[in-house]
Amino acid sequence: MMNFASVFAVLFNGCTGIMAGANMSGELKDPSRAIPLGTIIAVVYTFFIYILLFFLSSFTCDRTLLQEDYGFFRAISLWPPLVLIGIYATSLSASMSSLIGASRILHALAQDDLFGVILAPAKVVSGGGNPWGAVLYSWGLVQLVLLVGKLNTLAAVVTVFYLVAYAAVDLSCLSLEWASAPNFRPTFSLFSWHTCLLGVASCLLMMFLISPGAAGGSLLLMGLLSALLTARGGPSSWGYVSQALLFHQVRKYLLRLDVRKEHVKFWRPQLLLLVGNPRGALPLLRLANQLKKGGLYVLGHVILGDLDSLPSDPVQPQYGAWLSLVDQAQVKAFVDLTLASSVRQGAQHLLRISGLGGMKPNTLVLGFYDDAPPQDHFLTDPAFSEPADGTREGGSPALSTLFPPPRAPGSPRALSPQDYVATMADALKMNKNVVLARACGALPPERLSRGSWSTAQLHHVDVWPLNLLRPRGGPGYVDVCGLFLLQMATILGMVPAWHSARLRIFLCLGPQEAPGAAEGRLRALLSQLRIRAEVQEVVWGEGAGAGSPEEEEEGDFVNGGRGEAEAEALACSANALVRAQQAQGSGGGPGGPEGGDEGPATALTFLYLPRPPADPARYTRYLALLEILSRDLGPTLLIHGVTPVTCTDL
C-alpha cells in the first residue's frame, strides 16, 4: 500500500523540467517570453497526459494488476514495444535536460571560484563554449547517487532537493516583492506575493511529508553551502536581495524612530569623529568605536576646495578608500565626507547633516591640537600590514597608497588654533557634546582590541568631574557636564577590553569645604545608577585667591578677570594635582601612567573641559590653558557635555 506522500515523491519527478528553461536561459533567443510560456505549456500538457492515463487505467484495469505490476502498460498496449520506446525517450529527455541544466549551473559556480579547487575541472569548455568538463563532473555525481540502488528511495530524495530549489526561487521572488525593489517587475500577470508565500509553504510541507530526515538534511546542506558562499564570495556585482530587504526595513524603522519620543533613560552616545588623516588617528578611531555603546558612529572628513573651480566632485572617489579603512580597522562606523572652503565650515556641514532621522550625532570628537609630531600607525598596526607590491587581495590598491603620508613636523596645518576652538564653540552652540582626545597613541593595542583584557593587568580609569580651571574648585559636586564624564567612563568600562578597569572619581573640595558631604551625595547617586567606583576627595583651590562669585562662574576664568600668569599657574597646579593622583595610584612618578609597581596604573583620564570663552580673541589663550592642563597625563579625554544622560526616576 502506498500513501499520498510516497506517490507524490515518485510522480513529482515528472515535473522536474520546470527549471529546465531557467537553467538554459543562456541558450534561448527570448528567455523572458520562452521560459514562462514553455514552462506553463509543458506543465499543462504533462498534467493532461497524467490525468488521462489515470482515468483510462482505472476504468480498464484490475486493482491487483495496478498494485503488483509496474509494467502493466505493455500488456494492454496495442503495440507493446511502443511503451518501452516511450519509457526510454522520457527518461533520456528528462535526464539530459537535468544534466545539461545542472552542468551549466556547476560551470557558473566553478567560474566564480566559489568552492576553490573542488570544482576546478568544471571550468573546462570546448572550442564552441560548451562546458563538457561540467557535464562529465555532473555525470560522475549522478553515478555515485545511483549506487543507492532503489529507484523509489532515490526519487524521494531527488524530489526533496527539487522542492528545496523551488522553495528558494519562491523565497527570492517573495523577498524582492517585500523589499519593494523598483527594478523587480515580473511580466507574469498572475504573480503576487501571496502565490510566492503559498509556494514556499507548500514546498516545505511536502518535503517533510515525504521524508523528514531528507528534508532536514537538505535544509542543513543548503545552509552550509550558503554560509560557505558568503564566506568565500567576497565583494561581487551579483546584487544581494538581503541588501534590498535591509534597506526597506531600516527605512521603515527610521521613520518610527521619532526624536520627539527620546528619553534620557535610553540615551546613548552618537559620535562624529573628525579625522584629518587616518594614518595618525588610528588609535583614536578604535577608542571612539569602544565609546559608542551601540550608538551611531560616523567618521567625518573635510576636503578643502570649491566645487565651482573643480571639473568634478572630489568627494565621491574617496568613499571607497574610507570604507576600506573601516573594514580593515574592524570598527562599526559610517563614513561621511564633505567639500568646504575651510575645516570649520566642513565641520558645521557634518554636524548639521550627518545621520538620518533619530540617528544623528550628538557628540563631536576631535584629536587634541598640540605640537606632537604625527605618527604613522599604518606602519605599526598588524591589521594594516600590506604586501611589498602595494596591493591587497583581488588586486585592489593598498590603503597606504590611498591616504597621504602624515604631516611633516613644522609643516602648515589645514586648521588654525583659532578655527579649532571655534569648531568646538560651534558644536556647543548646536547643543552637541564635545570630546577632545590627547595621546591616545600611548594606549596599548590590547586596550583597543575587541577581546577581553587580562584581569591580571589591573588599571585605573580616572574621572575628574569638576572644572579644574575654577579658582575655588567649583561647588564640590558634579553638574550635568560632570555626570556626562561619568557616563562616558562607565560606558568604556562595559567594553570587554576594559572590564578590568577600576573607576576612580575625584571630587575637588575648596579650602573651606567640609569633607564627606559631597562624597556622600555622590555615593548615593552612584548607588542609584548602579555604578561601581572608588570616590576620593582632594583639596583644590588653595592659593588661587578669592574672587567675586561672578568671576568664578563657568568660563569666566578663561574669559578674563585674571592675569595670564595667574591662569597658567592655576592650570599648572591642576596638572600637578592630576599627575600626583596618577603617581599615587601607580606607584610611579608624575607623568608616568604606566610606571611603578605598587598599584594599578592609570590607563585613561577623563577631564572636565571648560566651555570656550565668549570672546574669540581669547581662543588661543584658552587652547594654551588646555595644553598645560593635560600635559604629560598620558591618554586623556577632555569632555564637555551639554545634555543630561542619567535618570533615577522609575
What is the DSSP code string of 110-167? HHTTSSGGGGGGGG---TTS--HHHHHHHHHHHHHHHTT--HHHHHHHHHHHHHHHHH
Residue 316 maps to a domain: yes
Q: Is residue 506 domain-shared with residue 630, that is, in the same domain?
A: yes
- pLDDT class for 286, splitting at 50, 70, 90? very high
Which tops the pLDDT comparison, 449 or 84?
A: 84
- Reply yes or no on whether the pLDDT at 235 is more than 80: no
Residue 170 maps to a domain: no
| Single pTM value for the model | 0.73
- Reply yes or no on whether the pLDDT at 554 is more than 50: no
Determine how many CB atoms are found less than 10 A away from the CB of residue 229.
14
Residue 129 maps to a domain: no
Q: Is residue 501 domain-shared with residue 632, that is, in the same domain?
A: yes
Residue 457 is predicted with a pLDDT of: 62
Residue 452 is predicted with a pLDDT of: 59
Residue 568 maps to a domain: yes
Residue 6 maps to a domain: no
Q: Is residue 363 domain-shared with residue 278, that is, in the same domain?
A: yes
Q: Is residue 345 domain-shared with residue 479, that is, in the same domain?
A: no
Distance set, CA 434 to CA 411, 488, 505 (Å): 27, 12, 20
Cell of 612: 570656550
Which tops the pLDDT comparison, 595 or 524?
A: 524
Strand 433-438 with 636-640, pairing: antiparallel
Q: Is residue 525 domain-shared with residue 612, that is, in the same domain?
A: yes
Q: Is residue 531 domain-shared with residue 621, that is, in the same domain?
A: yes
**pLDDT one-digit tens code per residue, 293-341:** 888 999 999 999 999 989 999 999 999 999 999 999 999 999 999 999 9
Specify the amino acid at residue 19: M
- pLDDT class for 555, splitting at 50, 70, 90? very low
Q: Is residue 495 domain-shared with residue 371, that is, in the same domain?
A: no
Residue 604 is predicted with a pLDDT of: 94
Where in the sequence is the domain holding 604, given as residue range(s)?
A: 458-540+563-585+600-649
Residue 229 is predicted with a pLDDT of: 74
Q: Is residue 286 domain-shared with residue 378, that is, in the same domain?
A: yes
Q: Is residue 493 domain-shared with residue 372, that is, in the same domain?
A: no
Residue 615 maps to a domain: yes
Q: Is residue 368 domain-shared with residue 475, that is, in the same domain?
A: no
Q: What's the CATH number where 472 sits?
A: 3.40.50.620
Q: Is residue 622 domain-shared with residue 491, that is, in the same domain?
A: yes
- pLDDT class for 459, splitting at 50, 70, 90? confident
- pLDDT class for 626, splitting at 50, 70, 90? very high
- Reply yes or no on whether the pLDDT at 15 is more than 80: no
**pLDDT one-digit tens code per residue, 55-70:** 888 888 888 888 788 7
d(CA 454, CA 599): 16
Q: Is residue 367 domain-shared with residue 281, that is, in the same domain?
A: yes
Among the residue ranges 249-258, 281-290, 484-493, 510-519, the one predicted with the least confidence is 510-519
Residue 642 maps to a domain: yes
Q: Give every strand in the sheet of 534-539, ordered side by side.
A: 334-340, 297-304, 271-274, 363-367, 433-438, 636-640, 601-608, 459-464, 501-509, 534-539
- Reply yes or no on whether the pLDDT at 410 is more than 80: no
Residue 73 is predicted with a pLDDT of: 85
The total of structural domains in the chain comes to 2
Distance set, CA 439 to CA 171, 283, 289, 633, 637 (Å): 52, 9, 17, 8, 9
Cell of 297: 558612529
- Reply yes or no on whether the pLDDT at 17 is more than 80: no
- pLDDT class for 612, splitting at 50, 70, 90? very high
Percentage of the chain beyond pLDDT 70 is 86
- Reply yes or no on whether the pLDDT at 551 is more than 60: no
- Report how far apart the first and last C-alpha atoms of the chain are (Å, whole number): 68
Residue 570, H or E segment: helix 564-586
Cell of 262: 527620546
**pLDDT one-digit tens code per residue, 176-214:** 888 887 878 787 777 888 899 999 999 999 889 888 888
Average pLDDT, the chain: 82
Q: What's the CATH number where 323 sits?
A: 3.40.50
- pLDDT class for 471, splitting at 50, 70, 90? low
Residue 473 is predicted with a pLDDT of: 46
**pLDDT one-digit tens code per residue, 94-125:** 788 778 778 888 888 888 777 777 888 888 88
Residue 635 maps to a domain: yes
Q: What angle do CA 371, 372, 373 make, to 5 degrees?
A: 110
